[in-house]
Amino acid sequence: MTSPFTHDLTGKVAVVTGAGGVLCSYFAKEFARAGAKVALLDLNGDAAKKYADEIVKDGGVAKGYKVNVLDTDSLQSAREAINKELGTIDILVNGAGGNSPKASTEVEYHEFDGMKDVKNFFDLDQKGIEFVFNLNYLGTLLPTQVFAQDMIGKKGANIINISSMNAFTPLTKIPAYSGAKAAISNFTQWLAVYFSHVNIRVNAIAPGFLVSEQNKALLFNEDGSPTDRAGKILAGTPMGRFGEPEELIGGLLFLADEKASSFVNGVILPIDGGYNAYSGV
């Protein structure tokens, strides 16, 4: 039996940060297909506008904006422009984020010997760590401070943050990114409580492992076989494969749609092929 339920976001204004990237631009396009007017925000303004143009060409309503999610003035200017051009904001997806090699180790374990030849925990760069934590955590907090002002008291208003499998169990080599994503999950729950009396729901999705242009070289060898790290990921994923971007959309639209999730608040939803549920034995 096929469910007749569809997600209709007609009349809603959705803001997606990090929308110049492949994944968040995909989110923006799906919001537009569901009827929302979409504001695509990214530090790379050309990329945001490019994806907005694609939405418009496909019959949707969208605008791209160059915005620095770590600059309150930039965010406030974007809010004013969005209010004028699209309307007041109903849905916010905090998608801006990322990692840096400067905040990553080259090894999974510290050993007694051989540590001088590889970048280890003691070599991590403070500015690199600050960059990763600021981009992910402050890059979620500051947009929420600005855009949630539009949402207070609006029916169906909600915020969706992007957490990670790292928030549940940290992956090796990337302590700053893991810590920042754990902070986002905690912040999601905090916000859900804080805004619960003014009709704003706050949830997050925690994607499992997807293949992208950014991580393809880390996951696959030149001959197409999985790298050692990819092999570990697949061994820890009961479904035995990587996810696809479109497999995040059901969870995203479910959380965004008041008709589907009006009593869902403070949830971090894993979309991970069972990775978080698997103990390894």
Whether pLDDT at 236 is above 70: yes
Q: Please report, for residues 19, 126, 131, 150, 203, the alpha-carbon distance to residue 87 in angstroms, rounded to integers and kept in the order given.
A: 19, 40, 32, 10, 23
Q: 3-state class of 62 per DSSP? A: strand
The reply to whether 275 falls in a domain is no
pLDDT tens digits for range 93-128 = 999 999 999 999 999 999 999 999 999 999 999 999
Are 64 and 128 part of one and the same domain?
yes
Whether pLDDT at 2 is above 50: no
pLDDT on residue 225:
87
Are 221 and 258 part of one and the same domain?
no
Instruction: Name the active-site residue from 65, 177, 194, 275.
Output: 177
The reply to whether 162 falls in a domain is yes
Q: Is 51 a catalytic residue?
A: no
Average pLDDT over residues 227-241: 93
pLDDT band, residue 6 (cuts 50/70/90): confident
pLDDT on residue 195:
98
The reply to whether 139 falls in a domain is yes
pLDDT on residue 161:
98
Are 105 and 238 part of one and the same domain?
no
pLDDT on residue 218:
76
Are 71 and 182 part of one and the same domain?
yes
The reply to whether 281 falls in a domain is no
pLDDT tens digits for range 35-80 = 999 999 999 999 999 999 999 999 999 999 999 999 999 999 999 9
CB atoms within 10 A of CB 92: 29
Are 119 and 192 part of one and the same domain?
yes
The reply to whether 237 falls in a domain is yes
pLDDT tens digits for range 196-220 = 999 999 999 999 999 876 677 778 8
Percent pLDDT > 90 in the chain is: 90
pLDDT on residue 1:
34
The reply to whether 262 falls in a domain is yes
Place of tokens 């092999």: 231
Are 117 and 37 part of one and the same domain?
yes
Q: pLDDT higher for 133 or 6?
A: 133
pLDDT on residue 219:
86
CB distance 251 to 273 below 8 Å = no
The reply to whether 4 falls in a domain is no
Are 104 and 219 part of one and the same domain?
no
Are 193 and 219 part of one and the same domain?
no
The reply to whether 122 falls in a domain is yes
Domains held by the chain: number: 2
Average pLDDT over residues 133-158: 98
What distance in Å separates the CA atoms of residue 99 and residue 122, rounded to the nearest whole number? 18
Are 226 and 200 part of one and the same domain?
no
Range of the domain at 235: 212-242
What distance in Å separates the CA atoms of residue 263 and residue 82, rounded to the nearest whole number? 28
Place of tokens 């479910």: 254
What distance in Å separates the CA atoms of residue 171 and residue 175, rounded to the nearest whole number? 8
pLDDT band, residue 144 (cuts 50/70/90): very high
Are 225 and 145 part of one and the same domain?
no
Closest to 184 (Cα-Cα) out of 200, 211, 165: 165
pLDDT on residue 215:
76
Are 232 and 190 part of one and the same domain?
no
pLDDT on residue 97:
95
Are 252 and 228 part of one and the same domain?
no
CATH number of the CATH domain containing 141: 3.40.50.720
